[in-house]
Amino acid sequence: MSEPVVRTVAQEARRAPVAWITLFGALTGVMALVPIFPYVGGGGYVPLLVPFSAIAPLLLGTAGGIGAAVIGGFIGMFLAPAAFPLGVVDVLLTGVLPAVCVALFVNNDRYFAWAAAAVLANGVFSFLFPFYVPGQAAGFAAPPEPLYSVLGAYYWLPPVIVALSPIGRRLVPGWSRAADRKVKYAGIYVAILMGLFVWWNPWSRPYWYILKYAPGLAVTTLIGYSWWVPALAAVITVITLPILEALNRSGLPKVSEGLW
């Protein structure tokens, strides 16, 4: 029992240097200029900043990764207004939230209470808002059921199952740190995919509310992103593992909660 404790204390002594956080944050912010997917319904785009934000905690640890995402979000807001139509609110939703969500899943053994709260709140929020709460009081028509609920569950139910089960509590954090390359790929992919599922609902729903989405457009959006989220998670995983391996060979001091 003493060995994990000693290892944890040693790891905690190595936080990501401020220079690394600032540099990766600046790089993340510049990526806001690169579109990777248009908003369903038009009006803007999802920037390449989102994948870089999701990668940040895997490289810099939870605190360092979220710090870099904050820096990147503010830089991106000024560089690419089309990717940040909600301004400072989008700094949180587009810039910071992907890093937070991925960090929770890849460290679910340490932050289980936070991960559990996040996935449960995400499920309730995504089901109710905006078509049931505030619903008709705010001018929203009732969505087609059970189609709407089934499509919506695709985004919130898998994270609940993974986060609350041994898959998320033990296997995913363990796999993500495994020496075997294939196992490591699998763990990182699941962590990123579940993190993006949790990110997508609070990121998308404010636009539905502000732009007064019709139920049909909401259903189209749920279908439109159904392939995109898993595909994006796969791309991020493919990008991430070679970076982690290069850092591991670099001789640089390892970062607490980083995967290298």
According to the model, what pLDDT value does residue 42 have?
Answer: 62
134 DSSP 8-state letter: T
Cβ neighbours of 92 (radius 10 Å): 16
According to the model, what pLDDT value does residue 7 have?
Answer: 39
Q: What residues does 47 pair with on adjacent strands?
A: 35
According to the model, what pLDDT value does residue 6 have?
Answer: 36
Burial of 58 (0-12, 13-18, 19+ CB in 10 A): buried
Please give the chain's pLDDT, 260 residues, in tens: 434 433 343 444 377 889 999 999 999 999 999 998 877 766 678 999 999 999 999 999 999 999 999 999 999 999 999 899 899 999 999 999 999 999 999 999 999 999 999 999 999 999 999 999 999 999 999 999 999 999 999 999 999 999 999 999 999 999 999 989 899 999 999 999 999 999 999 999 998 999 899 999 999 999 989 999 999 999 999 989 889 989 988 888 888 888 98
Residues 219 and 151: beta-carbon distance below 8 Å: yes
Cβ neighbours of 36 (radius 10 Å): 16
Q: DSSP states of 66-123 as a string?
A: HHHHHHHHHHHHHH-GGG-TTTHHHIIIIIIHHHHHHHHHHTTTTSHHHHHHHHHHHH
Query: Which whole-number Å values give the CA distances from 67 to 55, 63, 153, 159, in the listed order?
Result: 12, 6, 31, 24
Q: What is the pTM of this model?
A: 0.90
